[in-house]
Amino acid sequence: MPKKEINPEYLTCPIRQVIARFGDKWSMLVLYTLAENSTGVMRFSELHAHMNDCSQKMLSKTLKSLLDSHLVDRKVYPEVPPRVEYGLTDTGKSLIPAIDTLIAWAKEHFDAVVRP
């Protein structure tokens, strides 16, 4: 059964798409962590080390979602032990300035926002 009369325009609403795709707890952090890494690519465990407040289950899930959104790509090396590297796609890279803007804002207004 249909839940309600929702404005169909919402389906193509850009901000809703943004939130739906990386408005979760970890996506932005993954993108940002990859972006600030000098080599451009990181292994799973390396990524995890940089954000150890994220469980590997969630990291794995987040990466999969970012892969689906074509923001991150994944390269598997046929070695033993296996090696997998994650990096930003061009689309992913294009998002970084927007994230930087957000972070810059956060740094500047941290006190104003967090104060009791």
Provide the binding-site residues for its own copies, judged by CB under 8 A.
4-7, 10, 12, 14-19, 21, 23-25, 28-29, 32, 52-53, 69-71, 91, 94-95, 97-99, 101-110, 112-115
For residue 114, the 8-state DSSP code is: H
How far is Cα 43 from Cα 95, in angstroms, rounded to an integer?
Answer: 21
**Dihedral angle, C-alpha 80, 76, 48, 99, nearest 10 °:** 160
Contacts with DNA, 66-95, as mask; x by CB under 7 A: --------x------xxxx-x---------
58 binds DNA (CB under 7 A): yes
How far is Cα 113 from Cα 116, in angstroms, rounded to an integer?
Answer: 8
How far is Cα 111 from Cα 25, in angstroms, rounded to an integer?
Answer: 22
Closest distance to DNA from the beta carbon of 54 (Å): 5
Give the interface with DNA as residue ranges (CB under 7 A).
3-4, 24-26, 43-46, 53-58, 60, 63-64, 74, 81-84, 86
